[in-house]
Amino acid sequence: MNWQCDFLQSGLYCDLQRLFPALASERDFPSLDTLASWLAPNTLTEQGQHIRFCAEPPGDYYELQVMQTGRVPTREQNWHDMFNALAWALFPQAKARINALHVADIAAFGLHPRTLRRDSLTLFDECGVLVPSSDKSLLEALRQHHWREVFFTQRRRWGRDIEARVFGHAVYEQGLTPYLGLTAKMFPIEVVPEYFSLSLKERYRFLDATLATMLTNGALNNKKRLSPLPLLGVPGWWPGNADSAFFDNPQYFRPLFKARAPL
């Protein structure tokens, strides 16, 4: 797909529109220098290397190169890699922590076979959506696939007691051509009510630091914390979900036949 900035009008991308307003005026994909200029100051790997976006493919294994040199292979005029660069700008601590955990497992167990933790980290890095909520029952209802209850009946609580923030760059890429069936992986985070009084930038900083700590404490040592999240059901992300009938499709809003054990 060629460059176009109309995607920013979709609710899925409202955060990008607000946090990277220059995207709307770009006539082509942002250059690597432009993407680098949007990074938080002193965005570093955990070995202290400054993150830089480079067009060249990795000379060594991707995660090792990023850790040791700070060079993140980023194809120019490529949606997937552009969104990955924006993820580094939004979640510098968590992205660096994910990279470090990959490298730690490679050092301990070798490149192949991949560890369960590396599989979990990759799945989240590509397809993860953070769902902070001050009401644990809402998070549990999502994990139990009570879609209509949380997305429709409780939709007025979105933005006040619960919200969704995209982490995975593949989620943004897939959202460019939405289809019924578009699903991500939910990573629930319990927050205090005061979280929802923070500005958007403050929320991202809080989520970044919280996520990095949770990763350090083993939150993604396996896939237990991740569960399906039908993206088109999130209030504000798809116009059709304002109608209760939208949730009548069991092929998309699938019931959970076996209840998940609470986290």
- Residue range 91-115, pLDDT digits in tens: 999 999 999 999 999 999 999 999 9
- Angle among Cα 129, 134, 140 to the nearest 5 degrees reads 65
Q: Quick one: pLDDT at residue 60?
A: 79
| Residues 135-145: tens digit of each pLDDT | 999 999 999 99
pLDDT at residue 1, as a whole number: 87
User: Would you call 168 helix, strand, or coil by DSSP?
Assistant: coil
Average pLDDT score, the chain = 96
CB atoms closer than 10 angstroms to residue 99 = 24
In this prediction the pTM is 0.96
Amino acid 258: pLDDT: 75
User: Tokens 């593949």 — which residue?
Assistant: 170
Please spell the DSSP secondary structure of 184-195, one letter per residue.
EEEEEEE--GGG
Confidence of residue 3 (pLDDT cuts 50, 70, 90): very high
pLDDT at 263: 76
pLDDT at 153: 98
pLDDT in tens, 154-172: 999 999 999 999 999 999 9
Return the sign of the alpha-carbon dihedral for residues 75, 78, 80, 86: positive
> How remote is the C-alpha of 48 from its chain's centroid?
24
Whether residue 260 is predicted with pLDDT greater than 90 in this model: the reply is: no
- Average pLDDT over every residue of 202-228: 98
Q: What residues have CB less than 8 Å from 230, skipping those under 6 apart?
A: 147, 182, 183, 252, 253
Rg (CA), the chain: 18
The CA angle 221-222-225, to the nearest 5 degrees, is 105
Q: What is the pLDDT of residues 47-94, one digit of tens each?
A: 999 999 999 988 779 999 999 999 999 999 999 999 999 999 999 999
Mean pLDDT of 177-183: 96
Cβ contact 54:74 at 8 Å: yes
For the segment 183-206, the average pLDDT, to the nearest whole number, is 98
Q: What's the pLDDT at 97?
A: 98
